[in-house]
Chain A
Amino acid sequence: MTISVEDVRTSRKVLAEMDYTPAKIDKGYAGQSLYVNLSEARIEPKTVTQEMKDIFTGGKGFGLRYLWQAVTPDTKWNDPENEIVISAGPIGGITQYPGSGKSLVVTLSPTTGSVIDSNVGGYFGPYLKFSGWDALELQGKSDKDVVLYIDGDKGKVTLEEIELETGASHLISEVLTEAFAESEEDKQHISVVSTGSGADNTLIGMLNFSWYDPRRQVVRMKQAGRGGIGTVFRDKKLKALVVRFSGLTGKNNNPADFGKIQRAGVKIHREINKFDDVQCRMRQVGTANLMTVMNDYDLLPVMNFKYGSHPEGKKISTEVFISKFTQNVYDGCWYGCSMSCCKAVDGFELKTGPFKGEKVVVDGPEYENAAALGSNWGIFDPDFIIEANFYCDTYGIDTISTGTMVAFIMECYEKGILNKEITGGLELNFGNKEAAMELLHQLGQGKGFGKIAGLAIRRMKKVFAEEYGADSNFLQDIGMEAKGLEYSEYLSKESLAQQGGFGLANKGPQHDEAWLIFMDMVNNQIPTFEDKAEALHYFPMFRTWFGLQGLCKLPWNDIEPEGNKQLEEANKVPEHVQNYVDIYNGVTGKNIDKEELIRQSERVYNFQRVFNLRLGFGRREHDRVPYRSQGPVTAEEYESRQERYDGQLKELGFDIEGMSTEDKMKVMRKHREDMYEKLIDAVYLRRGWTNDGVPKLETLKALGIDFPEVVDVVKKHL
């Protein structure tokens, strides 16, 4: 599996090239995007129109706009016309405000069949923009493995064949960084996008975006995880993307008002420095600070989301991960991120797999990974989680989907739907570390039962019902996917608003749109359907904005400014919302307010809903969720929280004396499913959609996205 820098340098064979003069960035935009057709080995610049900037803003908005133009209603993820679009967005690449270097990746997903988007760190997006490109469109399919190289210093794009005989993403990132860097100093000017053999062998392949860590002197990676983007990447025979840009100054966006950005940045840097140690401890443990919290509040998925906590949860607590992570170092996935949450385990010795015995640097585990690859499998061993995290990353498979779908497999195994014969000898009980790790290697290498597992839950449900005679209703109840995407790692059973947060999310059940569990379930701040609908309007729109700008969500509310407590709308963190308005205006020279910020998102959010509709999804039936996300599917779940559930039934006026657990579960289910439907009614109304979840014409008009092609799609459903 080893490849040498020398081999890479000598094997480079250019298939196509384009020389260009990098556009000067004007207030956050290069004004140009880069189009590459892999079937024809064709490289071209495109002009970014004013309409693109005005309506779609950037980032995910640009990705959706370009993808819409590229595909038809019949396009499948593996058709050549499908595109992968990567874009930073106007704020993307500023160094003064934490979390400002994200790339947004958009494509048609192999598992959902519809649009997927992912928000990822690493240096690629900003370097791409500063090399002169607001977005990169990758269309077509190559017939051999290729690498795309963008040299922003020299003004040259090349499509190349390079011998990279490895399916290990961390090695690809490392060797390409070394091969393309002209010196040790130059390594931090390189970012590589790549994936691993798991993307060839499963539908849940992801993309690693790299950066060079000058303190550790290693290449590190962040993941565009959701929805199988890496699988599309490999289907196009892309092996890697490489960008090189050495001119970072901190003012490359050529902002309209540098002082405005600087002041907002210094203010929040100071806040983080003062309060992070007593608030979320992002700088010590990153998002894994949630491990103890989620276990304490019965929200940590345990054994395929059956339970929300476990006595052994303390073995994978926040404190345990603090002790595993290297402390007191700068850990930003883009320059200047004072939140500095991308922690790493240094010098971790692998115990299994192709790199057994090697010492590696492991990114994270972040909260999602620790829950997905640990508690959700009934495994409470931090070293196991770290190892599984490493292999998911280097195989190029999504930790969240891997976690949720293996948890599903384990429950099927325990229920007798699967057995050793089907799994090729793997005893996939909850808690079986050896079997779970072996399955992960099989996923990554396309072997054994991994070939079935790699189809992800929606397709597995079909296989298990059709081939192994499983009850498809039961599989529907316990298979934690919606729209074809696996759930991310929070228990939503006791929070109706969060059930909607997951179920109504445009791309599928990912928590990046809305995370309302505490506001709803614990704080009881949004008791009525109208309150919940308002939250399910505001928060998804507010959070969508990060994806338009190239921003990270975390510095918004994982640090709280002094005095926030006293504010009526503390949950919105008003001071930080104002910071975002300021840095947007500072970069672009515009003069938006917090209402216009939401409108920018509404345009793109509704456009994405219509895009789903255009591809045959995006209606009420597609917002259905598995009952495991809403309530207890099995008697063991009910009885494990009997006091709570009995109490709820009594409050609802049921006389539960003499009722069996089965009967109680039945009435509870009826009630909860009704509530979900009522919630959906309220949210559709608030969003200006029909009762079938279709954006109304007046909504599209008010947002200025009533293009004929958009109206055409919607009209069929009105």
Chain B
Amino acid sequence: MKIVGKNEEECILCGTCEAVCSEYYFKEDNREKSAIQVSEIDEDPGVDINVCNQCGECIRFCPVLALSRAKSGTVILNKKKCIACFNCVGACPTESMFYHEDAVNPFKCIACARCTKECPTEAIFMEEVEL
């Protein structure tokens, strides 16, 4: 299964990944609408890259079975089934299921790799992990 891997020490907080993601999925440059969110923190290494690790914990909390694992292993949300309860947001151990008041449904990283291709420092990259 492919996930977005991260090496936070390399991150320069340029925001490219957030812009790429939100522009592709929400047609606007707005980090709050990105499924990868980067922020400065006090602890080492000073940067936190918040992106879904495809652990799938959210799946069992969905009341309408809108969350599932695709064949590739990636956890995906079926927006047609989703009833916008945000239980998955509350259940996510890494708080990587995102929401925004402009969007009815929550959104998450589906490992599309668009952001990793644009990252100037290889702070994020596609990584193969065991399911």
Chain A interfacial positions (CB closer than 8 Å to B)? 95-96, 188, 214-215, 248-251, 258-259, 262-263, 265-266, 268-270, 272-273, 328-330, 332, 335-338
Known A95-B84, A96-B85, A336-B86; contact A262-B101, beta-carbon cutoff 8 A: yes
Q: A262-B99, A330-B60 are in contact. Are A269 and B90 (CB under 8 A)?
A: yes
**A-B CB contact pairs (8 Å), 10 listed:** A96-B85, A262-B86, A266-B99, A329-B60, A330-B62, A330-B63, A335-B64, A336-B85, A336-B87, A338-B85
Return the contact of B83 from the options A95, A215, A263 (Cβ within 8 A).
A95
The one of B65, B85, B89 in contact with A214, judged by C-beta atoms closer than 8 angstroms, is B65
Using A328-B60, A330-B61 as known contacts, say yes or no to A248 and B91 having CB atoms under 8 A apart: no
Docked CA distance A249–B82 (Å): 7
The reply to whether A269 and B83 contact each other, CB–CB distance below 8 Å, is no
Q: Which residues of chain B from 95 to 110 have any CB-CB distance to chain A below 8 Å in the complex? A: 95, 99, 101, 104-105
A269 and B63 within 8 A (CB): no
Checking A215, A251, A273 against B91 with a beta-carbon cut-off of 8 angstroms, the contacting residue is A273
| 8 Å CB contact of B84 from A250, A259, A270 | A250
CA distance A265 to B86 in the complex (A): 7
Interchain CB contact under 8 A, A250 and B65: no
Question: B104 near A250 (CB under 8 angstroms)?
Answer: yes
In chain B, positions 52-94 with a C-beta closer than 8 Å to chain A are 60-65, 82-87, 89-91
Q: Bound state CA distance, A273 and B101, in angstroms?
A: 22
Chain B residues with CB below 8 A from A258, complex form: 101, 104
CB pair A335–B83 under 8 Å, yes or no, is yes
Contact status A249-B90, CB under 8 Å: no
Residue of B nearest to A252 (CB): B83
A456 to B65, alpha carbons, bound, how many Å? 43
A269–B62 Cα distance when bound, in Å, is: 12
A188 to B64, CA, bound (A): 9
- The reply to whether B64 and A338 form a contact with Cβ atoms under 8 Å apart is no
Residue on A nearest B105 in the bound complex, by CB? A250
Residue from B65, B82, B89 having most chain A Cβ neighbours under 10 A:
B89
Beyond A249-B104, A262-B101, whether A215 also contacts B65 by CB under 8 A is yes
Give the residue name and chain of the A residue nearest to B87 (CB). A338
A328 CA to B56 CA in the complex, in Å?
14
How many Å lie between the Cα of A251 and that of B84 in the bound state?
8
Given the complex, which residues of B lie within 8 Å of A248, measured CB to CB?
83
A336 touches B63 (CB 8 A): yes
Question: Chain B residues near A332 (CB, 8 Å)?
Answer: 63
Task: Write out the residue numbers on chain B whose beta carbons fall within 8 Å of the beta carbon of A337.
Answer: 63
Chain A residues near B87: list those with CB within 8 A: 269, 330, 336, 338
For the complex, give the distance between the alpha carbons of A328 and B60 in Å.
7
B90 CB to nearest A CB, Å: 2
Q: Which residues of B contact A329 (CB under 8 A)?
A: 60
Given the complex, which residues of A lie within 8 Å of B86, measured CB to CB?
A: 96, 262, 265-266, 269, 336
A328 neighbours in B (Cβ, 8 Å): 60
| Chain B contacts for A249, CB-based, 8 A | 83-84, 104
Contacts of A335 in B (CB 8 A): 63-64, 83, 85
Task: Please measure, in the bound complex, the distance between the C-alpha atom of A283 and the C-alpha atom of B126, giving whole angstroms.
Answer: 36
Using known A-B contacts A265-B86, A266-B99, determine if residue A251 contacts B104 with beta carbons closer than 8 Å. Answer: yes
Seen from chain B, the residues whose Cβ lies within 8 Å of a Cβ on chain A are 60-65, 82-87, 89-91, 95, 99, 101, 104-105
Instruction: State in angstroms the CA–CA spacing of A215 and B83 once bound together.
Output: 16
A170 → chain B closest CB, angstroms: 21
Residue of B nearest to A95 (CB): B85
- The distance in angstroms between the C-alpha atoms of A249 and B89, with both chains bound, is 17
Given contacts A266-B90, A269-B89, contact A96 B84 (CB under 8 A): yes
Closest-by-CB residue of A relative to B89 is A266
List the A side residues contacting B95 at CB < 8 Å. 270
| A272 contact set on B, CB distance < 8 A | 90
* Cα distance, A338 to B86, chains bound together (Å): 9
Interface centre among A215, A250, A268 (most CB of B within 10 A): A250
Inter-chain contacts of B61 with A (CB < 8 A)? 330, 338
CA distance A248 to B105 in the complex (A): 13
Q: How far, in Å, is B38 (CB) from chain A's closest CB?
A: 20
A258–B83 Cα gap in the complex (Å)?
Answer: 13
The answer for the CA separation of A328 and B59 in the assembled complex, in Å, is 11
| A327 to B: closest C-beta gap in Å | 11
Report A-chain residues with C-beta under 8 Å of the C-beta of B90: 265-266, 268-270, 272-273, 338
B104 neighbours in A (Cβ, 8 Å): 249-251, 258
Q: Please measure, in the bound complex, the distance between the C-alpha atom of A270 and the C-alpha atom of B90, giving whole angstroms.
A: 4
Q: Please determine whether A269 and B65 come into contact, CB atoms closer than 8 angstroms.
A: no
Measured in the bound complex, the distance between the Cα atoms of B90 and A95 in whole Å is: 13
Q: Which of B86, B95, B101, B104 has the most CB of A within 10 A?
A: B86
Q: Measured between C-beta atoms, what is the minimum distance from A666 to chain B in Å?
A: 56
A526 to chain B, nearest CB (A): 34
* Chain B nearest Cβ from A93, distance in angstroms: 11
Nearest A residue (CB) for B61 = A330
CB B122 to nearest CB in A, in angstroms, measures 32
In the bound assembly, the distance between CA atoms of A262 and B89 in angstroms comes to 11
Question: Which residues of chain A are near B83, meaning CB under 8 Å?
Answer: 95, 248-250, 335-336
Contacts of A265 in B (CB 8 A): 85-86, 90
List A contacts of B89 (CB < 8 A): 266, 269-270
Cα A389 to Cα B65 in complex, Å, equals 29
Given contacts A250-B104, A330-B87, 4 further A-B contacts (CB under 8 A): A250-B105, A273-B91, A328-B60, A338-B61
User: Whole-angstrom distance from the CB of A254 to the nearest CB of chain B?
Assistant: 12
Measured between alpha carbons, how far is A429 from B13 in the docked complex, in Å?
75
Nearest CB of chain B from residue A529's CB, rounded to whole Å:
42
In whole angstroms, what is the CA distance A509 to B61 when docked? 36
> Could you say which residues of chain A place their CB within 8 Å of the CB of B91?
269, 273, 338
Among candidates A214, A266, A270, residue contacting B64 with C-beta atoms closer than 8 Å: A214
**Which chain A residues lie closer than 8 Å to B84 at the CB level?**
95-96, 249-251, 336
Nearest 7 interchain pairs by C-beta: A269-B90, A250-B84, A336-B85, A259-B101, A95-B85, A250-B83, A270-B90
Q: Name, among B85, B95, B101, the residue most crowded by chain A CB atoms within 10 Å (CB to CB).
A: B85
Distance in angstroms between the alpha carbons of A162 and B90 in the assembled complex: 44
- Residues of chain B within 8 A of A215, CB atoms compared: 65
- Measured CB to CB, the closest approach of chain B to A316, in angstroms, equals 28
CB distance from A248 to the nearest CB of B (A): 5
Shortest CB–CB separation between residue B80 and chain A, in angstroms? 10
Chain A residue with the shortest CB-CB distance to B62: A330
Give CA–CA (A214, B83) in the complex, Å: 14
A273 to B89, CA, bound (A): 10
Give complex CA distance A249, B60 in Å. 20
Chain A residues within an 8 Å CB radius of B65: 214-215
Task: Provide the residues of chain A in CB contact with B63, threshold 8 Å.
Answer: 330, 332, 335-337
Cα A272 to Cα B62 with chains together (Å): 15
Inter-chain contacts of A96 with B (CB < 8 A): 84-86
Chain A nearest CB: distance from B20 CB in Å?
A: 25
